[in-house]
Amino acid sequence: MQKQYYSIFLISVLTLISFAGCSGNKTEKKQETLPVQEVKTPVAIGNETSLLLKDLEENGDYVNSQVFPSLIKASIVNENLNKNLLVVDLRSSKQFLEGHIKGAVNKKFEELPAYFETGIKPFEYDKIIIVCEDGQVSSYTTSLLRLMGYGNVYSMRWGMSAWNKKYAQDGWMKGVSGKYEANLENKVNERPSSKAMPELNTGKTTGEEIGAARFRKLFEEGIGNILITADEVFNNPQKYFIINLERKDKYEDGHIPGAIRYKPDATLGFTDEMASIPSDKTVVVYCGTGHNSGFATAYLRLFGYDARTLKYGNNSFMYDKMVRQRTALSWLPFTGEDVNDFSLVK
């Protein structure tokens, strides 16, 4: 009897094992595969950099405001000459004496901080207009002054080339060129991963003090190396980290070999974006005319980058293409339409 019960028990166990073995593939749950999460390397932002970023943001975040870049047409300047306006001409004393805008004062770039602090009362003027030969140096200068808190400063678009044809013939008209149109590429170059921003090392402890030290240094350095030419860049584009500040469609239609597009309205002041810009290479920033890039170059140099703006922008190497596609892509080629015949004072 005991053996019978044992046999029945054994048969039952074998039956269960057999059933489980046959049906195991049907009832076994598949092992879930969790998505692999990308591990981001922390972006290195120094303490002084963080303090300066915070100070600029709290004081209006100029580079991400609607008034950036602060450009003004020569025609508007001319219409308001008899009003509460101050024109500051950055050209050489020789150029200034040969002809300048009525009422303008001639100042060297290096003199501007002291002039704005003690020479004038800046906010007594409705507008202060910064003028140079072609508009790029004045754009760079205006950006720095705006970042310093002078919110009524503007750069005159196209410089003196827009004021009188005398200057246009020796300035912008000579600067435009289509010589490198055949060298353009359409490849979309990827932005490198974000790593770090330059260390400022001013030794100051507040954002305001750090900013003051950096502005003082930039004005002391002068404007001798803030511009770069198309010949220099196209001769060896691999030597530079090239930033294109244009719309996506313009970039994809043709850009300098190796150039990486950074969004004009989502780069400056954004640490993840700026930390992807290498601090060990000369950075070339370019746009359509060199005006917007002049403003951006000032901001990058403030944070320790060796940045240069491409003189005349796209106009300096793909001018004919800009003229052909002026309507289709909203290009801004310099033409006779931008030249006025306003009076000069000697």
pLDDT tens, the chain, 346 aa long: 443 433 433 334 334 334 334 334 434 444 445 454 444 567 889 999 999 999 999 999 999 999 999 999 999 999 999 999 999 999 999 999 999 999 999 999 999 999 999 999 999 999 999 999 999 999 999 999 999 999 999 999 999 999 999 999 999 999 999 999 999 999 999 999 999 999 999 999 999 999 999 999 999 999 999 999 999 999 999 999 999 999 999 999 999 999 999 999 999 999 999 999 999 999 999 999 999 999 999 999 999 999 999 999 999 999 999 999 999 999 999 999 999 999 999 9
| Joined tokens for residue 286 | 């370019």
Nearest to 175 by CA among 338, 334, 341: 334
The CATH superfamily assigned to 181-329 is: Rhodanese-like domain (3.40.250.10)
Query: Given this model, what pLDDT does residue 179 score?
Result: 97
Residue whose structure tokens are 């703006």: 309
Residue 205 per-residue DSSP state: -
| Joined tokens for residue 182 | 């055949």
Query: Given this model, what pLDDT does residue 41 score?
Result: 66
CA–CA dist 295, 299 (Å, integer): 7
Residue whose structure tokens are 């503007």: 154
Alpha helices by DSSP H, listed for 90-130, are 93-98, 112-114
CA–CA dist 311, 177 (Å, integer): 12
Four-way CATH pick for 60-175: 3.40.250.10, 3.40.640.10, 3.90.45.10, 3.40.50.1170? 3.40.250.10
Sequence ranges of the domains in the chain:
60-175, 181-329
Residue whose structure tokens are 């200057």: 167
* Long-range contacts of the stretch 112-115 (C-beta < 8 A, 24+): 112/88, 112/141, 112/145, 112/219, 113/148, 113/215, 113/216, 113/219, 115/88
Q: pTM score > 0.85 for this model?
A: yes
CB 203 within 8 A of CB 97: no
CB 318 within 8 A of CB 182: no
| Joined tokens for residue 243 | 């930033």
Nearest to 296 by CA among 81, 64, 76, 80: 64
One fold for both 60-175 and 181-329? yes
